Amino acid sequence: MWLVTGGAGFIGSHVVQAALHAGHRVRVLDDLSTGDPRRLSREVELVRGDAADADVARRAAAGAEVVVHLAAHRAVPRSVDDPLATDRANTHGTLAVLEAARAGGARRVVLASSSSVYGSAAALPTPETAEPRPASPYAVSKLAGEHYARVHAELFGLSTVSLRLFNAYGPGQSPEGPYAQLVPRVLDALRRGDRPVVFGDGTQSRDLVYVGDVARAVLAAAATDAVGVVNIGSGRATSVLDVIAAATRAMGVRGEPHFLPARPGDVPHTCADPRRAAALLGWRATVPLEEGLRRTARAPVVAAA
């Protein structure tokens, strides 16, 4: 049985589907703070609760062979608004899930870390050996989670790997709320005939990776015994203005950006060096941006925050 924390979330629901498809039984631990149970099919066992609560995490991890830990407060600006809440959910939550996995005798633990740990990385594309310079409470919490995972491997022999996910996008990502991500915000604005909002001048760039590719990476990581940190990105950076241009082409519409001031904590550029993922996991991103945007634009919009 697999435990997927945060399985009712955007990435989590794709991981759950992929795990079911591969023949695994799946239990989800999710507090439904940004998740939506309608993303989960009937055969999934949903435990509604807080992953940072040690007892809840322990009960959820009992009997799990593989633990995929995705539950987190995801947004950088949310962490700037409320650092303590993000730290509790992410840093403490990760420690609680690692302890629960250890107590339950899990064979493998796959954690979602983030490209944000690099901050304004000196080298682009950024290899895993680059010195982390987290620029937000969110990024600090993700880096702390990686260290807890490494320490659990070294001290307790728990098989852990931390995937530094770059910017995931795809069907099921909500455009709503103040912390919505770039791609769903842009697609939603274009759908409504509005001008997509750009924070800053739009030259900042992101390594966008299709969520189906991310789910494949999680399954690949669960199937190996690779340890440490692994970038999960496409290896290509696209500027925010180019994302908007690609989205207008994918949707066959026009849309001029609406510029607002840059947000604190956002980093100027992200781009993965994807070679370690290829070497250790046999994984690389396969869905090109315009194809991914077309698939996303065609999919139903979800209402969850």
Q: Which chain residues interact with ligand NAD by CB under 6 A?
A: 5-6, 8-12, 29-35, 50-52, 70-74, 89, 93, 112, 114, 165, 167-168
For ligand NAD, the closer CB: 64 or 71: 71
For ligand NAD, the closer CB: 6 or 255: 6
Residue 183 burial (CB < 10 Å; 0-12/13-18/19+)?
A: buried
Query: Which two structure tokens, joined as six digits, stand for 275?
Result: 């070679």
Least CB distance to ligand NAD at residue 9 (A): 2
Three-class SS state of 219: helix
Query: Which two structure tokens, joined as six digits, stand for 290?
Result: 């315009």
Three-class SS state of 120: coil
For ligand NAD, the closer CB: 207 or 244: 207
Least CB distance to ligand NAD at residue 132 (A): 14
118 is catalytic: no
Least CB distance to ligand NAD at residue 126 (A): 14
Most distant CA pair in the chain, distance: 56
User: What's the Rg (C-alpha) of the chain?
Assistant: 18
Q: What are phi and psi of 125, to 5 degrees?
A: -55, 150
Q: Which of 138, 148, 169, 210 is catalytic?
A: 138
Query: Which two structure tokens, joined as six digits, stand for 89?
Result: 């959910």
Least CB distance to ligand NAD at residue 35 (A): 2
Which of 285, 185, 200, 184 has the alpha carbon at shortest distance from 239?
Answer: 200
Query: Which two structure tokens, joined as six digits, stand for 62?
Result: 């009992």
For ligand NAD, the closer CB: 49 or 196: 49
What residues are labeled active site? 138
